[in-house]
Amino acid sequence: MTRSKVAFILVSFIAILCLLLIPGQYVRTFGQPEVLVLDSGWRISLNGTVLPEDNPQRIVRTDVRVIKKGDVLTMSHTLPTGAGYYYPSLYIRTQGAAIDVLIDGMLYYSHDKEAILNNTQVESGSHFIDLPMSISGSELTINLYSGSSYAFLGVEPPVLSSYRSLMEYELHLNFLPLMVSIFLCVYGVSFLVISLYFVLQTPNLLGQVVSSLICIDVGIWMLSTYDLLSIIMGGHHATRLESITLYLLIPLLYLYLSSMRKPFRKQIYTAIAVISSAVCVMLAVGVAINMLPIHIVNIPFALIALLATILVLRIRFGARAGAKREESESLRIAGLLVLITTFWLYHLSYTFVEYTGLTRDVFTDNLVTFGGMFFVLCQMLNYFVYIAQIYTRKQENETLRKIAYEDALTQLPNKVRIDEVLQALDASDRNFCIVSMDLNGLKQVNDQIGHMWGDHLLMEFAQVLRISFGEVGFLSRVGGDEFIVAIEEAGEGEVRECIANMLEKLELLDRREKNINHSVAYGYAFRNEVPERNSSAAMKVADARMYEMKALQKKQAQREAMMRLTTEA
Amino acid sequence: MTGLLSGLATTGSLRYEIVNIDEGWRVTHNDKVLENVTLKEAIEGVAGKGEVYELENHLPFVTVPAAALRIHTTRSCIDVYLDDELIYSFGHDYAERGDSVPNGYHYPILPTGYTGAALRIVLTGQTGSAFSGMEPIYMGNRQDLVQEQIRNVRFPFFVGIFLCLFSIIVLILGAYVFFFHERSGRGGDQFRMLFSAAICLVLGTYILTRADGYFFVTSSLAVSSTLEYVSLYLLGILVAALFMTVVDGKVRTICGIAAMVNAGVFSVTLLLHATNLLHMNKTLWLYHIVIITEVILMTVFLVRQFIENRGKGNVIVIDTVAKDAEKKAGNIIALGMLCLIFLLFLDIIRYIVMKYFSARGTSEKGLLLTTVGALVFVFSLLLNYFYYNIEMIHEDNKNRALETLAYTDALTGCASRTRCEQVLKEMERYKGNYSIISLDLNRLKLVNDTLGHAEGDRLLRGFGAMLKACFRDSDLTGRMGGDEFLVIVKDAPDDLCRYKMYQLQRLMNVRNQEETKFQYSVAYGYADSWETKNKKPMEVYNLADERMYEMKQKQHEKDPHGVRLKKKAGSGEEQDPVSAQATALENASAAYSTGAVPDRAKKEDEE
């Protein structure tokens, strides 16, 4: 894959993303849900200490570096009077924190506080809280209880509106991840079904199966990370599912690599792959049955992921990268690499956000979206490249087939081909006859009047063979002047008839071209004749008979020559 | 797959109870009052413009936190009163502007103390034949109501989103292939790709909008309604056009005409809509008639064509130029298309039947068939790509096997003549220095004629093995034919050839000690590329060849007869018929062979 092609893909992909985003934005301007984003006017205190910020999003790590589990962040806001919301709902997103919502000091909503008490994993996610009718001028208080060290960092401002509008607001924000994650899931499932259907018929399909699994995995990861799962499926399992799918990505990645041709040269790489896959599966299981708290697992997992990334980079840019690699394989690696890179960037940007308090923007939010789409794009591109290449490849194979199986001069099948045919005949239980033939005059013609005439003789003889045996036998040229005909299910009479026919034709040629010796030595043998009942034994007998005849012919030729000499003398 | 997706569609838990308010309605329409009816019976026939239905009932005695109603309307304004207090209103602003009122779900929120309150819903039709039948009205928690509705359309929602993004991917890839791969000369494929991408996009949009699943892009019901109509019209044009590229004969013509007619209908409708003369939803019946006629016509001709072609092994007649793989792939797409058209057609028929002849009326969402059809279509596309993939894997395997066959000499395992010629040609562009060794195996003809071909083959095999053993794998050791061999060594250090030939000679000497029937002997010559003026490989080869002949000449002088097979002729092999024959023939034929005939004739002359 040349650089220009990569550039083309990138440019077109970005172009299409824009094409998708711009109409999306345009369409959205018609139907922006009416919401009130509460991004100022907050009074915020941490464990009773008042913080200077009036927007929870601005809380950065430096201020609260000492956040421990169980710390409490209290945010209060006086709701505007006269806001025309009729029974509004409140939308707030939490990250690893339990939440209480109070209106005028009355508790209206509480989530996951028992997780803090029980010291289990605190779920992150979206909360939609139904508020009472009269809220104008009320005091809204939100208490966040930290379940992790990043719980209070960059808290997105709460939003007030009707429930449906809030849900649409959230979906509009995550419009691309939603589309892409659903696409990945459906695409993965479809391809999995198709490849499993074909996997029995065709080898080398492991790559397809694994890549569809990767698609599903990334799709589910995205759904849980952007907290879209609760809207589509209901329930609050996002945090755990996010980690599980992330851990499972590593074994899938190694499986994917192993489906390529010789991905690892050294045993040690294979060992690394197996061990890290096993560890990741164990991590996933541990998190799934709620044995492992996620924040403990994060660092070892990051190391494993780093190792995997380095391996992929080695495969792409390592010593062997310069060697000829098939286009499809380099495409697949490129797709994988982009996917991994976006995953890293996403998590790095997350850490970055924690320290700076800047909100994630459209770009970082859609990074993995981009990676996932690129992965699928590379997969699909493979198929399209195949569609484009298959015709040329077929022609190439046709040429190769000719070179491999055909004698270039006479265009008769060659030794390789007749060997295959004889093998097939041996495997059957039918009788067959092998006729071995040797042109007596070829060497003489070649030496005396030139190779041109030798070639001419060969072509003529091939033509004669085609006429006299073509209907019943399989013809071949196995050496310079050697020919073999295999005749299936033939009686001796039939074979003799064919040979007589051939001799007759050669006689005619002899008379027409006096300077060329058209004589041929032949011998034939049947499968039934030989005790071994196979073609090589029959061939030996046929050859022996042919040599016998050749010897006789030579003697006769010598006698004739002598006769001629004596008569001339 | 479908089962899996529909399985997904039924899972998910709700927090509170959802009540279907179906019975006990009091309906007032044109001063006619129906008492205590179900919603199904509430609306008779098709409601037209300005027709007002008043539905009255009491809310059930069920308490749900943050309660709301869910009501679906079709092309009508809605006002909801609770104890005669207006709590929700929609559509009047559209009606005043003269725009058509969009379809969609409404979620009027119930104020506290709603249990048992008197509910009154006023529906005002806004188009010629606005609606018939009512979807059930539900009461429940507002979050539950919204989520349950989303879950109801999860299947079309998933499929719709998938189709939209899939189309974008196909579009990019189509462009990529178009620019970077020479295709086999048939332009039809590109159009096919373009059309399938466009169909996916339009179909996806149609399914999403029709399933009220477009909410994640826009909250505006008007935008979504317009998109629904536009995508339906476009779908007719595109499906006809794509089908045209996969079928042959009269059906093709019909598809072409259908595409043009659909395009005509669409542009006229769009013009009327844009100039506010006639809204799109008012001409829907015309479009339906056009589509139904086209599908019936197409089916008739397709069946006729199918019967005519049954003997030829084609399910559907594809481009007659297409070969095996392409034909099969085309067949897959054609089948997918047929399925899509059929299911779309059924959906339209169903819609018409429901609207005019059934009590449930337009409220019934018969989208499942179209969604399944779309899924089948995409599957056929994927299968088609996959088919190429598998075909390619087969061809690749074949290619590898054939390459071995074509480029290796079966007998000796050396490179074949074809390969040698290829490499010689490649060397033309090689910048470095290289050496060519030309070798000629002595006495092959003699062994062949006297000891038989089997022994000749053994001679060749043995020599080939020794030659290959002398050189590295990266050097080319090839058999040019008969008894001629060739070696090409890149960037050989000085004296390498001489050393290698010495090595070969030693190997042969060892072998010759053990050999009883014949002796290995070779003539060779080598040349370096710098020795020639132009560094042309053929020149180098010829130079090596000349040197080889010189050597042969010298060998001939030393051993003028050149006929000795073995210093001590083997004598214990009488049991082998061929070698017995060979020994018998040895004396007689020795002189006859190897180009000795003219000399022989001369000798006889002298005698």
Structural contact between residues B170 and A380, judged by C-beta atoms closer than 8 angstroms: yes
Joined tokens for residue B287: 């479009």
Rounded CA gap, B424 and B421, in Å?
5
Does B592 contact A172 at a Cβ distance shorter than 8 Å? no
Could you tell me which residue, B434 or B410, shows the higher pLDDT? Answer: B434
* ipTM for the whole predicted complex goes beyond 0.85: no
What are B57's strand-pairing partners?
A: B119
The number of CA neighbours under 13 Å toward the Cβ of A303 is: 8
Rounded mean pLDDT of B479-506? 87
Out of B150, B170, B482, the one facing A231 most closely (by C-beta) is B150
All residues at 6 or more sequence positions from B162 whose CB lies less than 8 Å from its CB, including other chains: A182, A183, A186, A187, B204, B378
Determine, for residues B223 and A31 on separate chains, whether the beta-carbon distance falls below 8 Å.
yes
Option in A32, A388, A397 nearest B177 (CB): A388
The CB density around residue A432, as the number of other CB atoms within 10 Å, is 22
Tell me, what DSSP letter sits at residue A6? H
In this prediction, residue B254 has a pLDDT band, given cuts at 50, 70 and 90, of: confident
Interface contact flag, B217 A178, Cβ < 8 Å: no
Res A54 pLDDT > 90: no
Residue among B154, B405, B589 minimizing CB distance to A416: B405
Contact A167 B11 (CB under 8 A): no
Specify the pLDDT at position A39: 79
Contact assignment for A167 to B218 by CB distance below 8 Å: no
Q: Which helix (H) or strand (E) holds A166?
A: helix A163-173
- Whether the pLDDT of residue A214 is over 90: the answer is yes
SS (H, E, C) A490-542: CCHHHHHHHHHHHHHHHHHHHHHCCCCCCCEEEEEEEHHHCCCCCHHHHHHHH
* Cα distances (Å, whole numbers) of residue B219 to A162, A167, B215, B485: 12, 10, 5, 80
Q: What is the pLDDT of residue B439?
A: 92
Each residue's pLDDT tens digit, B2-21: 555 555 545 556 778 888 88
Q: Could you report how far apart the first and last alpha carbons of chain B are, in Å? A: 94
* Token pair 């026939």: residue: B45
DSSP A8-39: HHHHHHHHHHHHHHHHHHHHHHHS----EE--
Q: How many CB atoms lie within 10 A of CB A526?
A: 18
% chain A with pLDDT above 90: 8
Distance from CA of A390 to the nearest CA of B (A): 6
Chain B residues whose beta carbon lies within 8 Å of the beta carbon of residue A185: 158
Q: CA-nearest residue of chain A to B585?
A: A551
Shortest distance between the Cα of A420 and any Cα of chain B, in A, equals 12
Give the sign of the dihedral formed by CA B40, CA B42, CA B47, CA B53.
negative
Query: What span, in angstroms and rounded, lies between the C-alpha atoms of A28 and A165?
Result: 13
The mean pLDDT value for A476-485 works out to 87
Contact (CB<8Å) A390/B325: yes
The SS3 of residue B127 is coil
- Most confidently predicted of A193-202, A423-432, A560-569, B299-308: A423-432
Among the residues of A259-326, which ranges form H helices?
A: 267-288, 294-317
Distance from CA of A67 to the nearest CA of B (A): 34
Which has the minimum average pLDDT: A369-373, B177-181, B217-221, B580-584? B580-584
Q: What is the pLDDT of residues A526-566, one digit of tens each?
A: 988 888 888 888 998 998 999 899 889 888 888 888 888 88
The gap between the terminal CA atoms of chain A, to the nearest Å, is 79
B interface test, pick of A91, A163, A477, A530 with most B CB neighbours within 10 Å: A163
Query: Which whole number is the average pLDDT over B504-524?
Result: 88
Per-residue pLDDT tens digits for A328-355: 777 888 888 888 988 888 888 777 766 6
Side chain identity at residue B564, one-letter code = R
Res A215 pLDDT > 90: yes
DSSP structure class, residue A347 = H
Is the pLDDT score of A83 beyond 60? Answer: no
User: How many Cα atoms sit within 13 Å of A533 on the Cβ side?
Assistant: 5
Q: How far is CA A6 from the centre of its chain?
A: 18
Q: What DSSP state is assigned to residue B131?
A: B
Length reported for chain B: 607
- B429: which 2 tokens? 């562009």
For the sheet with B476-481, list strands across it. B476-481, B484-490, B434-441, B522-528
Mean pLDDT of chain A: 80
Consecutive H or E run containing B104: strand B104-106
pLDDT in tens, B452-474: 778 888 899 999 999 988 888 78
Decide if pLDDT at A323 tops 70: no
pLDDT band at A129 (very low <50, low <70, confident <90, very high): confident
Structure confidence at residue A225 (pLDDT): 82
Q: Which member of A168, A393, A419 has the closest CB to residue B215?
A: A168
Residues in B closer than 8 angstroms to A384, CB to CB, are 173-174, 176-177, 385
Q: Output the pLDDT for position B319.
A: 40
Distances (CA, A) of B495 to B299, B440, B459, B499, B527: 80, 20, 28, 6, 11
Residue type, B546: E
The average pLDDT across A304-323 equals: 75
Decide if pLDDT at B239 tops 80: yes
Interval B179-205: pLDDT, tens: 766 554 445 566 677 788 888 889 888
Cα A3 to the center of its chain, rounded Å: 21
Report the pLDDT averaged over residues A167-184: 84
Reported as a single tens digit per residue, the pLDDT across A358-405 is 555 656 667 788 888 888 888 888 777 777 777 778 888 888 888 778
Does B570 have pLDDT greater than 50? no
Comparison of pLDDT for B261 and A80, the residue scoring more: B261
Distance CA B566, CA B323 (A): 59
Q: Where are the alpha helices (DSSP H) in B428-532?
A: 444-451, 453-470, 496-514
Residue of A nearest to B201 (CA): A20
Residue B602, pLDDT > 80, answer no
C-alpha B491: how far from chain center: 46
Which of B355, B519, B540, B340 minimizes the C-alpha distance to B437? B540
Mean pLDDT of all residues in B105-125? 85
Read off the pLDDT of residues A500-532 as tens digits, 9 standing for 90 and up. 989 998 888 888 888 888 889 999 999 888 888
Distance between CA atoms of residues B200 and B166, nearest Å:
7
Residue B340 is predicted with a pLDDT of 86
Q: How far apart are CA A147 and CA A151, in angstroms?
A: 7
Nearest to A380 among B169, B589, B597 (CB): B169
Residue B574: which pLDDT band, with cuts at 50, 70 and 90? very low
Nearest CB to A163; choose among B8, B146, B395: B146
Which residue reads 């790590």 in tokens? A61
Q: Is A566 buried (19+), middle (13-18) or exposed (0-12) by CB count in 10 A?
A: exposed
Nearest to A230 by CA among A93, A346, A40, A62: A93
CB B286 within 8 A of CB B265: yes
**Would you say B157 and B211 are in contact if contact means Cβ atoms under 8 Å apart?**
yes
Percent above pLDDT 90 for chain B: 4
CA trace torsion A104, A108, A109, A110 (10° rounding): 70
CA dist B359 → A383, B53, B65, B460, B589 (Å) = 49, 16, 33, 91, 105
Please tell me the predicted confidence (pLDDT) of residue A217.
93
Q: Is A266 exposed, middle or buried (0-12, 13-18, 19+ CB in 10 A)?
A: exposed
pLDDT bracket for residue A265 (50, 70, 90): low
In chain A, pLDDT over 70 holds for what percent of residues? 83
pLDDT of residue B580: 39
Who wins on pLDDT, B573 or B438? B438
d(CA A9, CA A377): 9
